[in-house]
Amino acid sequence: MTEKLALVGIGKIARDQHIPAIHGNPDWSLEAAVSRHAAVDGVDHFATLDELLQNRPDITTVSLAIPPQPRFEYAAKALKAGKHVMLEKPPGQSLAECYALEALAKEQGVTIFATWHSRYADCVPDLKDWLSSRTIKRLKISWKEDVRRWHPGQEWIWEPGGMGVFDPGINALSILTEVLPYRVHLSQAILEFPENRATPIAAKLTFVDPGGADMSADFDWRHEGPQTWDIEVETDRGSARMSLGGERLEIDGVLAKEGANHEYANLYARMAALLKAGESDMDLSPMIHVCDAFSLGRRIATDPFHF
């Protein structure tokens, strides 16, 4: 059975990722778009979620591709209307919001899915399997990109709830929490805030590994050279390097796998499977690390940022 879906928020990520993934999956039919400023050819358009819910009661699933600050209100309204909900990452601007949505979905008997697209990169399962039989000695995350390239003119990322450099950094944390065979927790964070912004532009994180491994992450949004999304691991039996955000994996310096960008296609396949099973997926472990970073982080002022 094909599920009728509405996409809320028609920005860059919706056009680049969500719409192609939906059209490429026979389990889904994109029936409507909700946006005040944009439309999608060939589907119903509504300016507000209220208009959608009033005029298209046949739509079963709502996918939210909007900034995290207003997401709770939209998600809660859709859940109360009996709709299944997909949440673009991060699933909310606070843990309390996310837990409240999880409880509401359970109460309404519908599916909710906190999507972490980087977990669905091609090489992530391979690194997880490789690590499952090894002892980690050192793990280093380097997630460095140019905010002007990936978020041109988007002011919401610099406002409270927008998370700043943790908007991409949480992608790395979603991979970390997926591939590790155990839990780790944050012990220290250094956060660099532009003096004219409310969220950080760079962060250095240190984790406590139960086995004593040296584990850290370095996020930076000022990187103008080659974009870097790497995880390097040294173990008792060899080393691994996953790059391109999970599309390329090297083992002991030799290419083991090179994939392609299937992340959002895999997300919508996962959502279809959740609906068929009558289940939800609201893993918040990446979000916990971000909240801990803001709680533990030592704040350092740096140069103003302007687009």
288, containing H or E segment: helix 285-296
Which two tokens mark 289?
């690390």
Q: Whole-model pTM?
A: 0.96
Sequential pLDDT tens for the chain (307 residues):
799 999 999 999 999 999 999 999 999 999 999 999 899 999 999 999 999 999 999 999 999 999 999 999 999 999 999 999 999 999 999 999 999 999 999 999 999 999 999 999 999 999 999 999 999 999 999 999 999 999 999 999 999 999 999 999 999 999 999 999 999 999 999 999 999 999 999 999 999 999 999 999 999 999 998 999 999 999 999 999 999 999 999 999 999 999 988 999 999 999 999 999 999 999 999 999 999 999 999 999 999 999 9
Which two tokens mark 70?
């207003």
Q: Which of 89, 137, 140, 257 is catalytic?
A: 89
Q: How many CA atoms lie within 13 A of 277 on its CB side?
A: 11
Residue 89 bears catalytic tag:
yes
Choose among 165, 124, 174, 178: nearest CA to 302: 165
Q: What are the E-state strand segments in the chain? A: 3-8, 28-34, 44-46, 61-64, 84-87, 112-114, 136-144, 185-194, 202-208, 214-220, 228-235, 238-243, 248-251, 254-258, 298-302
Largest CA distance in the chain: 59
What separation in angstroms does the CA of 257 have from each of 44, 228, 246, 260, 271? 41, 18, 10, 10, 26
Q: Which domains does the chain have, with CATH numbers?
A: 3-114 (3.40.50.720), 118-259+291-302 (3.30.360.10)
For position 141, what pLDDT does the model report? 98
For position 1, what pLDDT does the model report? 77
CB 71 within 8 A of CB 87: yes
CA–CA gap between residue 157 and residue 210 (Å, rounded): 33
For position 97, what pLDDT does the model report? 97
For position 292, what pLDDT does the model report? 98
Phi-psi sector, 154: left (phi>0), alpha (psi -120 to 50), beta: beta
Residue carrying the six token digits 């912004």: 197
The three-state secondary structure class of 256 is strand
